[in-house]
Chain A
């Protein structure tokens, strides 16, 4: 099979959408969510669509495939794909195109694969169905592509089930699958958002290579400008279903024309001031030599030592599976350690939360990554914030009501408007704010933040970080900040703990951690954070190829 199976020259117009309008249904009324956007794409070109959630970027990406999600409809505009009008095309025509000439890579590969079938069976499905390849051809092609995407053991990895490979590998397998019919167009919908930075690099590099090799046109949807800078030739910035700015990647990064684009470029610019006072000798919380494991399995934590001083922010970084969240579970008492102890102000804590007094439980509160699942969908904001007030502080009636309103003011939500809402009536950032208010209501000493910003858009995340920072100063709080995002660490941390495979590999003040010499793994983490420079990925890969260096656990 040749690499150039597509008819048409590089540079020919492939997708041409004009005046695209898309409507979404809420209850029984249709409202416009994309207000007339023009999108074009040439063969071999990579177009980046960027914007916050709700900007309409995924919707537009799917529209390029002639597809509208449930509850959406393409209401106006022309939608040409290689001379075929997709909006009026019959289902049969679309079925012929989708999968063979147009492919889609979803954000969550784990959810997009059928867990009951082996990777290779799912890979061969599309080409065999479309009659492009025979089953055995498709299989050997799969192995070739797995190799090109730098999956380990390309000969055999296809015979595994989706749950037997890691998230990053699955995302690459999915890209291979999208490539199986050598499509003209691939739509990538946030393919690396759910991955660790170290894994993200591998996937980005693999996607970029393969798109170049096969001269495929691609639409790359993301909310991360630094990522899109590596991938796209041209970028479209979207907001509220409108085009904000469009331009060549390098030009746009060098000289953004619109205020909003400049905002996107400058996120995470805020830095916490270095504290001047010295904290008391005895730290607020100390973890000594802790081992922990889930039901008789292997050790998840291995001899972890960690100190959280008063009024400081300790960031715990590491990729998924490194034991960051498990450390938090040991502190909260959800997972009693098998060895070692947790000291609070110098006194050992009962290992199980059920043995801790109400007053002890009050002193640390959790904020979770998914604010969606951290709020009871059937409880109104009044109850969510009011419960800790009653439970811990015995507040009732007017006093409680006033305090709830105070707290809502503190998290910058209008009390009269929000107090009687349900969580489903809030945006993601607002939900996270409510979680913060709930934690504050208990008047804790320490708030454990488990990836609190990773599910949020960059601008919203920045606001949440600023809010947390302000509250720290007002309430003398300590934070334990679990994250895999080093930009967040740079912004908010005083001290950094780097974890790898259940061990602490490096620990110290933020500035000393970010300055070389690093531990090998810290170096890998630091260098994997995408930068706005469009040459960053190429340079990094080149550097790593020549200097060797540590491999991620993903390979």
Chain B
């Protein structure tokens, strides 16, 4: 383990500036969302002042349309939006990777069945599809996570399957099959370790997409429900300020953009480090 951490330290030292920047930003977001109640000056939902107060004074970034503190809501928003995006992405990957690898390893009718289901799901524009389903089942956090995870798992399925079909035809997998190894061994020991680099890279990208997707849904009113602070809905709530050339509504949008860029920097670096099967 100490060997591993030494390698990690060396790798981190040698990482390019962009990756360092990305990691620092992600770290800040994580710290902020963990310690939100301590860092935030006010509560997430409490109305503490007049509507649309300007920056400065007690309210560093002013107040929103109901008189809640903007900074506090931004900090809590990190917790809600990032946390839910993370859980959703994990779930999407669990579903997508397992089914994708199964389809590649078994082939035949199971592959056909899964692939066709995925085709059907992908044929419908995902935003419209999720709006539809969320309207039907109602907008709770659980529903939100489940719907987005299932929709996103279709993309993960496609990637996992595509990567795995190239691996399952390799000789070392044939060796394992001829040895009499079971499906579980083949998937977890032979295929998955070799499919990791593209999947991890996809995880980074997918995380950003989910993140933006939740914000988009919130903006449309079907995401996280008020009074929970969420960056997407915060943009919508304060959108009127734009007309008064106040940039406050752009802050949550900027927070989204910054995290997206940071995650992608780290992913790029990781891709470069572990590109391909051979090296």
Is there contact, CB below 8 Å, between A358 and B180? yes
Residue of chain B at shortest CB distance from A27: B14
User: CA separation between A306 and B39, bound complex, in Å?
Assistant: 79
The proximity string for B residues 169-181 relative to A, scoring 1 for CB distances below 8 Å and 0 otherwise, is: 0111011011111
Name the distance in Å between B190's Cβ and chain A's nearest Cβ: 6
**B193 at interface by CB-CB < 8 Å:** yes
Among the listed B172, B177, B178, B181, which residue makes an inter-chain contact with A375, where contact means beta carbons less than 8 Å apart? B172
**B277 at interface by CB-CB < 8 Å:** yes
Is there contact, CB below 8 Å, between A366 and B175? yes
**A84 at interface by CB-CB < 8 Å:** no
**B13 at interface by CB-CB < 8 Å:** no
| Chain A, 412-445, CB within 8 A of any chain B CB | 424, 438, 442
Residue of chain A at shortest CB distance from B173: A376
User: CA separation between A333 and B177, bound complex, in Å?
Assistant: 11
Among the listed A28, A361, A375, A379, which residue makes an inter-chain contact with B179, where contact means beta carbons less than 8 Å apart? A361
Is there contact, CB below 8 Å, between B172 and A376? yes
Contacts of A388 in B (CB 8 A): 179
Is there contact, CB below 8 Å, between B279 and A424? yes
Is there contact, CB below 8 Å, between B194 and A376? yes
**B278 at interface by CB-CB < 8 Å:** yes
Residue of chain B at shortest CB distance from A358: B180
Is there contact, CB below 8 Å, between A424 and B278? yes
Is there contact, CB below 8 Å, between B180 and A376? no
User: CA separation between A438 and B178, bound complex, in Å?
Assistant: 13
**B189 at interface by CB-CB < 8 Å:** yes
**A368 at interface by CB-CB < 8 Å:** yes
Residue of chain B at shortest CB distance from A384: B172
Is there contact, CB below 8 Å, between B278 and A372? yes
| Chain A, 357-371, CB within 8 A of any chain B CB | 358, 361, 366, 368, 370
Is there contact, CB below 8 Å, between A378 and B194? yes
Residue of chain A at shortest CB distance from B174: A334
Name the distance in Å between A376's Cβ and chain B's nearest Cβ: 5
Is there contact, CB below 8 Å, between B178 and A373? no
**A72 at interface by CB-CB < 8 Å:** no
Is there contact, CB below 8 Å, between B278 and A377? yes
The proximity string for B residues 184-205 relative to A, scoring 1 for CB distances below 8 Å and 0 otherwise, is: 0000011001100000000000
Interface size on B, residues (CB 8 A): 18
Contacts of B170 in A (CB 8 A): 373
**A387 at interface by CB-CB < 8 Å:** yes
Among the listed B171, B177, B194, B278, which residue makes an inter-chain contact with A353, where contact means beta carbons less than 8 Å apart? B177
The answer to whether residues A387 and B178 also contact, given A376-B194, A424-B278 and a CB cut-off of 8 A, is: no
Name the distance in Å between A228's Cβ and chain B's nearest Cβ: 29
Name the distance in Å between B101's Cβ and chain A's nearest Cβ: 15
Contacts of B193 in A (CB 8 A): 376, 378-379
- Chain A interface residue number, banded: 20 to 34
Interface of B is mostly: helix
Among the listed A28, A353, A424, which residue makes an inter-chain contact with B178, where contact means beta carbons less than 8 Å apart? A353
Contacts of B175 in A (CB 8 A): 366, 368, 374, 438
Contacts of A375 in B (CB 8 A): 172
User: CA separation between A422 and B98, bound complex, in Å?
Assistant: 26
Contacts of A353 in B (CB 8 A): 177-178, 180
| Chain A, 16-52, CB within 8 A of any chain B CB | 28
Among the listed B171, B180, B194, B278, which residue makes an inter-chain contact with A391, where contact means beta carbons less than 8 Å apart? B180
User: CA separation between A377 and B192, bound complex, in Å?
Assistant: 12
User: CA separation between A333 and B189, bound complex, in Å?
Assistant: 23
Is there contact, CB below 8 Å, between A361 and B171? no
Is there contact, CB below 8 Å, between B194 and A373? no
Name the distance in Å between A375's Cβ and chain B's nearest Cβ: 6
Is there contact, CB below 8 Å, between A376 and B190? yes
Is there contact, CB below 8 Å, between B278 and A387? no
Name the distance in Å between A53's Cβ and chain B's nearest Cβ: 16
The answer to whether residues A373 and B171 also contact, given A379-B189, A424-B278, A424-B279 and a CB cut-off of 8 A, is: yes
Name the distance in Å between A351's Cβ and chain B's nearest Cβ: 14
Looking at A353, A374, A378, the one whose CB has the most chain B CB atoms below 10 A away is A378
Name the distance in Å between B181's Cβ and chain A's nearest Cβ: 7
User: CA separation between A442 and B181, bound complex, in Å?
Assistant: 13
Name the distance in Å between B257's Cβ and chain A's nearest Cβ: 33
Name the distance in Å between B138's Cβ and chain A's nearest Cβ: 44
Residue of chain B at shortest CB distance from A357: B180
Is there contact, CB below 8 Å, between B278 and A334? no
**A332 at interface by CB-CB < 8 Å:** yes
Contacts of B14 in A (CB 8 A): 28
Contacts of A334 in B (CB 8 A): 174, 177-178
Contacts of A377 in B (CB 8 A): 194, 277-278
Is there contact, CB below 8 Å, between B181 and A391? yes
Contacts of B172 in A (CB 8 A): 373-376
Residue of chain B at shortest CB distance from A371: B171
User: CA separation between A260 and B179, bound complex, in Å?
Assistant: 41
Is there contact, CB below 8 Å, between A387 and B179? yes
User: CA separation between A359 and B126, bound complex, in Å?
Assistant: 51
Contacts of B278 in A (CB 8 A): 372, 377, 424
The proximity string for A residues 442-472 relative to B, scoring 1 for CB distances below 8 Å and 0 otherwise, is: 1000000000000000000000000000000
The proximity string for A residues 380-413 relative to B, scoring 1 for CB distances below 8 Å and 0 otherwise, is: 0000000110011000000000000000000000
User: CA separation between A473 and B119, bound complex, in Å?
Assistant: 57
Contacts of A358 in B (CB 8 A): 180
Name the distance in Å between B59's Cβ and chain A's nearest Cβ: 50
User: CA separation between A489 and B145, bound complex, in Å?
Assistant: 63
Residue of chain B at shortest CB distance from A376: B172
Is there contact, CB below 8 Å, between A370 and B171? yes
Contacts of A332 in B (CB 8 A): 178
Is there contact, CB below 8 Å, between A366 and B194? no
User: CA separation between A438 and B176, bound complex, in Å?
Assistant: 11
Residue of chain A at shortest CB distance from B276: A377
Name the distance in Å between A163's Cβ and chain B's nearest Cβ: 18
Residue of chain A at shortest CB distance from B193: A378
Contacts of A442 in B (CB 8 A): 179
| Chain B, 182-232, CB within 8 A of any chain A CB | 189-190, 193-194
Residue of chain B at shortest CB distance from A360: B180
Residue of chain B at shortest CB distance from A361: B180
User: CA separation between A373 and B169, bound complex, in Å?
Assistant: 10
User: CA separation between A509 and B279, bound complex, in Å?
Assistant: 44
Contacts of A438 in B (CB 8 A): 175
Contacts of A361 in B (CB 8 A): 178-180
User: CA separation between A243 and B175, bound complex, in Å?
Assistant: 41
Q: List 14 A-B contacts (CB under 8 A).
A: A28-B14, A332-B178, A353-B180, A361-B179, A366-B175, A368-B171, A375-B172, A376-B189, A377-B277, A378-B193, A378-B194, A387-B179, A388-B179, A392-B179
Kindly list the 6 A-B residue pairs having the minimum CB-CB distance in the complex, ordered from nearest.
A378-B193, A374-B171, A376-B172, A373-B171, A361-B180, A368-B171
Identify 4 new A-B residue pairs, CB closer than 8 A, beyond the known A353-B177, A372-B278: A332-B178, A376-B172, A377-B278, A392-B179
